[in-house]
């Protein structure tokens, strides 16, 4: 008596079960293969918690890689110093390189300077019940530190001869962007805290302080709303970190002899004359340069 | 006797091997629907075996049931994802429960049969 035949109706059903079992086996294999492939490719599936874990994983990776960058920069500096000790020619190159690195913000620097601290004001009036949140944000705009405030401070510091600037320990370099993204301030595309914002600048402390505190200067802008939003302290010695990012230069190439000369002459003439047409002329020659190249 | 029970399992194994060595795969977005279809297939097979043991096996019901359940399970899960209702979980719970139920019934019938056979043997020897 077979298990796959019934006592009541002697209808054979084993074959059908077998055929469909084969199909089922195929289905099983197919889904197993697909799941294996998903796991192999580490493809985030549709579930959000997997996105979250992938995100935190990536964030840890970024922290690790930042450490690696710092290590490598340290080692590079050591190699350069070692090369400088070797021969006269390399020594010249190395001093040039050190100076270029210093200007580009690729090495950590220390010296005297000032620390400017910008804080959100605690004096902001509470939201009236009937007011829409958007209107309240517009109303309290002056009580909150925004990227424009930071940019204004950096601008003044630069004009007063600051040699190195860092915002919340992110070095400000030529390619730095400072912007508000939600409640945080992004410097070099790295989120830092929005308040208090610490801006460290290395330079002549007296000059920097007077540039900040001059009449109708940066500090005066906060007098009406809340003077505690802005504070400036001199520092005898502090260290600013090196620029940790590494943005590749893909589009800019050194200009050819002739066009470089022309551009140089244009910039000199526009600097010497206050004629507004000079800058226009500079733009138009740049245009013709583009055509000839 | 016992060998006949091995044949469907062998069939499943052969089908598994054939698809596994072939290079055909489905897009990863379909993976969850495919898994659900597979579960529905397991459910249909178990249901078929159980119906057969009970003597209520109808080939038309079995064949259409297998095809429809497999396709419907995948389609409903897809629809659920589209309209934001997790029908996937509902199908998993329901189908999983049915598989367990059918398996337990199959085990019981099988035990009954073997007990009856041994009793008959005792009766014949005594």
Global confidence as pTM? 0.47
What residue in B sits closest to A11 (Cα-Cα)?
A: B57
Q: In the predicted model, is pLDDT for residue A134 greater than 70?
A: yes
CB of B45 within 8 A of CB of A2?
Answer: no
Name residue A116's beta-bridge partners: A199, A232
When pLDDT is averaged across residues B63-85 and rounded to a whole number, the result is 87
What residue in A sits closest to B40 (Cα-Cα)?
A: A24
- Residue closest to A116 by CA, chosen among A199, A240, A234: A199
The ipTM of this complex is: 0.74
User: What was the pLDDT predicted at A41?
Assistant: 66
With b meaning 16 or more CB within 10 Å and e meaning fewer, what string describes A2-25? ebbbbeeeeeebbebbbebbbbbb
What residue in B sits closest to A16 (Cα-Cα)?
A: B59
Q: Residue A34: its chain B contacts at CB < 8 A?
A: 25-26, 28, 30-31, 34
Take residue A190 and report the two structure tokens written for it.
């790295």
Q: In the predicted model, is pLDDT for residue B67 greater than 70?
A: yes
Burial category of B12 from C-beta neighbours within 10 Å (exposed 0-12, middle 13-18, buried 19 and up): buried
Residues of A (1-20) whose Cβ lies below 8 Å from B: 1-9, 11, 13-14, 16-20
- Give the largest CA-CA distance in chain B: 68
Q: Which of B29, B35, B52 sits opposite A13 (nearest CB)?
A: B52
Question: Apex CA B71: angle with CA B65 and CA B76, to 5°?
Answer: 115
Q: In the predicted model, is pLDDT for residue B8 greater than 90?
A: no
Q: In the predicted model, is pLDDT for residue A287 greater than 80?
A: no
Contact across the interface for B19 and A33, Cβ inside 8 Å: yes
Q: In the predicted model, is pLDDT for residue A112 greater than 90?
A: yes
User: What was the pLDDT predicted at A291?
Assistant: 41
User: What was the pLDDT predicted at A289?
Assistant: 41
User: What was the pLDDT predicted at B99?
Assistant: 93
With b meaning 16 or more CB within 10 Å and e meaning fewer, what string describes A36-55? eebeeeeeeeeeeeeeeeee
Pairing relationship of beta strands A197-202 and A109-118 according to DSSP bridges: antiparallel
- What's the pLDDT tens digit per position in A12-67? 777 888 888 888 888 888 888 888 777 766 555 556 777 788 888 898 998 888 88
Distance from CA of A47 to the nearest CA of B (A): 11
The residue with greater pLDDT, A248 or B45, is B45
The residue with greater pLDDT, A130 or A115, is A115
When pLDDT is averaged across residues A266-289 and rounded to a whole number, the result is 55
Best of B3, B14, B31 to mutate (most A CBs within 10 Å, chain A)? B31
Q: Residue B14: its chain A contacts at CB < 8 A?
A: 22, 25
Q: Which of A3, A24, A29 sits opposite B45 (nearest CB)?
A: A24
Q: Which of A4, A26, A29 sits opposite B4 (nearest CB)?
A: A4
Q: How far is the CA of A200 from the CAs of A78, A103, A161, A184, B58, in angstroms?
A: 26, 16, 13, 18, 84
Take residue A143 and report the two structure tokens written for it.
């009580």
User: What was the pLDDT predicted at A113?
Assistant: 93
User: What was the pLDDT predicted at A43?
Assistant: 54
pLDDT band at A282 (very low <50, low <70, confident <90, very high): very low
CA B29 to chain centre: 24
Strand order of the β-sheet with A170-171 is: A170-171, A164-167, A197-202, A109-118, A230-240
Distance from CA of B9 to the nearest CA of A (A): 7
- What's the pLDDT tens digit per position in A161-194? 899 999 988 899 888 888 888 778 888 888 887 7
User: What was the pLDDT predicted at A86?
Assistant: 72
């Amino acid at each position: 008596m077979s298990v796959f035949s019934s006592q009541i109706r002697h209808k054979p059903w084993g074959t059908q079960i077998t055929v469909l079992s084969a199909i089922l086996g195929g289905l099983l294999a197919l889904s197993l293969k697909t799941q294996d492939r998903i796991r192999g490719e580490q493809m985030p599936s549709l579930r959000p918690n997997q996105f979250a874990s992938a995100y935190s994983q990536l964030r840890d990776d970024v922290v690790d890689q930042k450490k690696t960058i710092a290590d490598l920069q340290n080692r590079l500096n050591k190699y350069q110093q070692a090369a400088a000790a070797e021969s006269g020619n390399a020594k010249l190159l190395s001093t040039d390189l050190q100076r270029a690195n210093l200007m580009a913000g690729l090495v950590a620097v220390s010296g005297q300077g000032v620390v400017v601290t910008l804080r959100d004001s605690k004096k902001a009036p509470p939201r009236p019940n009937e007011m829409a949140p958007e209107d309240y944000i517009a109303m309290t705009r002056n009580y909150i530190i925004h990227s424009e405030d930071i940019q204004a401070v950096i601008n003044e510091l630069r004009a007063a001869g600051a040699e190195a600037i860092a915002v919340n320990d992110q070095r400000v370099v030529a390619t730095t962007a400072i912007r508000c993204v939600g409640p945080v301030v992004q410097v070099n595309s790295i989120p830092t805290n929005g308040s208090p914002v610490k801006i460290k600048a290395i330079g002549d402390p007296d000059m920097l302080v007077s540039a900040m505190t001059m009449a109708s200067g940066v500090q005066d802008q906060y007098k009406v709303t809340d003077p505690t939003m802005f504070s400036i302290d001199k520092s005898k010695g502090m260290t600013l970190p090196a620029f940790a990012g590494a943005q590749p230069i893909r589009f800019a190439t050194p200009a050819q002899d002739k066009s470089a000369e022309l551009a140089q002459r244009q910039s000199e003439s526009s600097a010497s004359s206050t004629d507004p047409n000079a800058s226009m002329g500079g733009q138009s020659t740049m245009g013709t340069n583009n055509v000839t190249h | 006797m016992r060998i006949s029970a091995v044949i469907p399992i062998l069939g499943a194994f052969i089908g598994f091997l054939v698809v596994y060595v072939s290079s055909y795969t489905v897009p990863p977005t379909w993976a969850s629907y495919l898994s659900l279809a597979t579960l529905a297939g397991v459910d249909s097979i178990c249901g078929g075996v159980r119906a057969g043991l009970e003597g209520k096996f109808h080939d038309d019901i079995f064949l259409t049931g297998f095809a429809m359940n497999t396709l419907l399970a995948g389609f409903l899960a897809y629809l659920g994802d589209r309209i934001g209702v997790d029908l996937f979980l509902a199908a998993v719970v329901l189908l999983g429960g049915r598989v367990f139920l059918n398996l337990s019934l199959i085990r019981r019938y099988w035990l009954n049969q073997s007990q009856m056979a041994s009793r008959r043997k005792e009766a014949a020897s005594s």
